[in-house]
Amino acid sequence: MKSLTEYLDMEVPSRRGFVNLTPRVEEAVERSGISEGLCLVNPMHITASVFINDDEPGLHSDYEGWLEGIAPHEPTGRYKHNDTGEDNADAHLKRQVMGREVVVAITGGRLDLGTWERIFYGEFDGMRTKRVLVKIIGE
């Protein structure tokens, strides 16, 4: 069994945003030399998410509105977590809804994604550097 571990630095210049990681993960799979296996992609921060969906701007806008409806940033005083001096309780909740990580099969040396599936990094408390783990294992 072979493995490859890489860390992607992420810095979203706004509080929230979505970044298509698919090309960077595909490059890592190619570097790994693994033809059959699994690829884990995990944001190493509790206010960010990795998820799979369509790369369509309207959907991204819908996510933004939907997540703000579920866990609005303002007023920050509505959240007990923010009593600690933080202002990011909503980001923790948004991450919980969007999920922690994805695992994608590698078949024939390529990510085995559906036609419209892409891997995204979701940032919910940005404007600073965070890391994403890419762990690939297989033969």
Residue 132 has a pLDDT of 98
Number of domains observed in the structure of the chain: 1
Q: How far apart are CA 48 and CA 64, in angstroms?
A: 14
pLDDT digits (tens, 9 = 90+) for 11-20: 999 999 999 9
Residue 77 has a pLDDT of 97
Q: What proportion of the chain, given as a percentage, has pLDDT over 70? A: 100
Secondary structure (H, E, C), the chain: CEEEEEEEEECCCCCCEEEECHHHHHHHHHHHCCCEEEEEEEECCCCEEEEEECCCHHHHHHHHHHHHHHCCCCCHHHCHHHHHCCCCHHHHHHHHHHCCCEEEEEECCEECCCCCCEEEEEECCCCCCEEEEEEEEEC
pLDDT (average), residues 51-80? 98
Q: What proportion of the chain, given as a percentage, has pLDDT over 90? A: 100
Domain that holds residue 112: 2-138
CATH number at residue 23: 2.60.120.460
pTM to 2 decimal places: 0.96
pLDDT digits (tens, 9 = 90+) for 81-123: 999 999 999 999 999 999 999 999 999 999 999 999 999 999 9
